[in-house]
Amino acid sequence: MGCDGGTIPKRHELVKGPKKVEKVDKDAELVAQWNYCTLSQEILRRPIVACELGRLYNKDAVIEFLLDKSAEKALGKAASHIKSIKNVTELKLSDNPAWEGDKGNTKGDKHDDLQRARFICPVVGLEMNGRHRFCFLRCCGCVFSERALKEIKAEVCHTCGTAFQEDDVIVLNGTKEDVDMLKARMEERRLRVKLGKKPRGRQKLRQGSLKRLALILERRRPAQLPRAQQQARALWEKPESLCVGP
């Protein structure tokens, strides 16, 4: 059986095999994660903030998102866990002296070196280009490589000296397992804050109610005191009113 024109189709033309899975360019993915804002997809520029899941944003993009949470913004799902500006931390980043930026791109023939990064670890000098794991401290915003925190173990920040706990360490652009762990910590942290506010609110309400009640009783006391004296005098003058009949 042939096709038009007397040609005979080959087997690979008739049998459809499995579709080839398009592989994501790892270099392009790293560039997108470490150089572009998760919300606006614009180049990261100071002030740069990070959320509790370790994603990077431009601070002005987060503020704009909080002011206008439009359903039309598809990228808003990536920041749906950000409820207020308190849910992000402004990062203290160390500039990379070897990064030239766009200085050499004068004729349009510059080759972008993906190994170069704008920021580095201030302790061991590793570049923050996605090749090495980086994290930040939620308590102060300082950024380090994970190697620095493991090799130089301390209970205070290497840069500013702020004390921190394990819960304050947030991995930047981590794996799926890292994100799941950070999400569980975030939900637990927010639940503790939510439960911690209720007793204080009830205590304030109770104290306020007692104060108002005391004030009301204080205002009523002078008016009720003469009446009580009149009733006591009437009972003294007419003791037969206390007698109860058979």
**Whole-number pLDDT of residue 78:** 80
Q: What is the mean pLDDT of residues 173-196?
A: 94
**Whole-number pLDDT of residue 101:** 72
Q: Does 47 sit behind a cis peptide bond, omega within 30 degrees of 0 on the bond before it?
A: yes
pTM of the predicted protein model: 0.67
- Spatial neighbors of 23 by CB under 8 A, at least 6 apart, are none
Report the candidate in 99, 124, 123 with the shortest Cα–Cα distance to residue 113: 99
C-alpha pair distances (Å), 47 with each of 50, 181, 215: 10, 26, 51
pLDDT tens, residue by residue, 46-74: 999 999 999 999 999 999 999 986 655 55
pLDDT tens, residue by residue, 123-167: 999 999 999 999 999 999 999 999 999 998 888 998 999 999 999
**Whole-number pLDDT of residue 190:** 92
Burial of 173: CB neighbours in 10 Å, binned 0-12, 13-18, 19+: buried
79 vs 15 pLDDT, higher one: 79
Q: What is the mean pLDDT of residues 17-31?
A: 67
pLDDT tens, residue by residue, 88-103: 999 999 999 988 875 5
**Whole-number pLDDT of residue 68:** 83
CATH number of 27-99+117-199: 3.30.40.10
Question: What are the sequence ranges of the domains in the chain?
Answer: 27-99+117-199
C-alpha pair distances (Å), 241 with each of 31, 224, 237: 97, 22, 9
- Mean residue pLDDT across the chain: 78
**Whole-number pLDDT of residue 233:** 60
